[in-house]
Each structure stands twice: as structure tokens, then as C-alpha cells.
Amino acid sequence: MWARSRFFQKLGGGILERTAIGALSAFQLAALSSHKNPETMKLIKRVRRERRTLTTAFESYHIHSLAQACRNLKGDFAEVGVYEGASAALICNVKADKTLHLFDTFDGLPESTDPDRSIHKKNQYAVKFDAVRQYLSQYGGVEFYRGMFPETAAAVEEKNFAFVHFDVDLYESTRSCLEFFYQRMTPGGIMLSHDYSILTGVQQAFHEFLRDKPEGLIELNTTQCMVVRAAA
């Protein structure tokens, strides 16, 4: 594991993390605005003003861009780890007529297991569910599943997915996402995860899961990684 991973883990999602993300994102927004679509940048800036987010501006751009790239594939969209709904709003703006399935406890993170080295506290990132639901009510085709994933996923077991975003922080949660969605991804569909390069448990879950799979992991120039589902 990388030394920089241990450094970022110590930030633990508190005020230091939010401050660092905000400062970094200010520079990233300026850089993106110099050469990216003005309407896309206007959207990203607006959403980031409206809702707190722990993704950087570059990461927000990747979420928006990759979801847009998948909207003509067969299958629904999903996100596990919604927080205040900022990334979900970006996805909603490009999902066309697809349904976006949103999974979160909204009570914060569960207990950490050994691979996560007690990085986060139980119930960290808790938010008010009604506030998130109200914020996203401006978009159609959004379904909420409140509780622990994958126990909340029974209603979508028969569905296929074109794009899925994970932002779950922990080993067990990441492993559960991979095990559930991988077999349900449309060929060419994308699974995108936050925090791969800075959280030990997320890294371990991906490495273990992909060990016997044909797909290779694509690490982005942010904390994110992605997997493009191969044809069955």
C-alpha cells in the first residue's frame, strides 16, 4: 500500500478533508473551465454550491462524463453511497429516461472491519434523508432504498445496469457492491468507485474481486478507479 494512502486515511472525512477538497477543487474548477463545455461546468459548480460533497471537482467531472457515456447502453443507473446527493444530481442531469437507483443508510457508515483499520467512525457521514430526497425531487426516475446494502437490493435483483457509482469507503461495502453489480452489468457498462487510491479497504476489495475476472482495473488521475464490463 502507498504511503500517501495512509496520509489521506488519517484525514478521516472530517473538517480537514472537506477543507482540503474545497481548496483543491477551486483550482480544478478553474482549470476545467478553461477548456470544457461551459454548460457542464455551470452545472458542476451549481451542484457543488447547493450540496456538500467529498468528491473533488475533477471527480465530479468524471462522474458526469462517464454516466453520460453510458446513457445509450441498456440497463439502469445506480449509486451506492449518496451522502447529500451531489453526485446523484450530476448523474440525473445526463441519465435521460433511465431510472437511477440510490442506496444509502442515510445514517452514516457501519462499523469498520480490519481491512479499514478504523479509519472512519460508525455513523460518520450521516445526513437527513428527507432533505436529500427533497433536493433530488426535481428529477424524475429516481428511486431510494434506505438501509444496509445489499439487503436493500432485493427490488433490483432482476435488473441490468449500465452505470454504477460506488462511494462507500469501506472494504465490506465495496466488496458487496462488486459482488452484486458485476454480474448485472451490461457489456460496456461502467462501475466507478471513489477513494480507490486513498483507502486501503477499497483497494483490497477491488484487487481481490478482480483477481479471477477478465476485466482490468482502470485507475484514474483522481482517487477514483473504474471497471468496464466485458462481454459475457
Local confidence band at 2 (pLDDT 50, 70, 90 cut-offs): very low
φ/ψ of 23, rounded to 5, equals -65, -45
CATH code of 44's domain: 3.40.50.150
CA distances to 43, 55, 103, 163, 166 from 48, rounded to whole Å, are: 9, 9, 21, 21, 18
**Mean pLDDT value of segment 15-39:** 91
Local confidence band at 9 (pLDDT 50, 70, 90 cut-offs): very low
Domain of 110 in residue numbering reads as 3-228
- Please say if the pLDDT value at position 115 is more than 70: no
pLDDT at 124: 65
- Please say if the pLDDT value at position 72 is more than 80: yes
Indicate the average pLDDT of the chain. 90
> Quick one: three-class SS letters along 162-176?
EEEEECCCCHHHHHH
Number of structural domains the chain divides into: 1
Of the listed ranges 26-40, 124-138, 191-205, the least confidently predicted one is 124-138
Local confidence band at 116 (pLDDT 50, 70, 90 cut-offs): low
Please answer whether residues 142 and 99 qualify as being in contact, where contact means their C-beta atoms are separated by less than 8 angstroms.
yes
Please answer whether residues 219 and 29 qualify as being in contact, where contact means their C-beta atoms are separated by less than 8 angstroms.
no
**Mean pLDDT value of segment 27-51:** 97
Q: Starting from the edge strand earliest in sequence, which strands make up the sheet with 185-193, in order?
A: 142-146, 100-104, 76-80, 161-166, 185-193, 225-228, 218-219
Local confidence band at 16 (pLDDT 50, 70, 90 cut-offs): confident
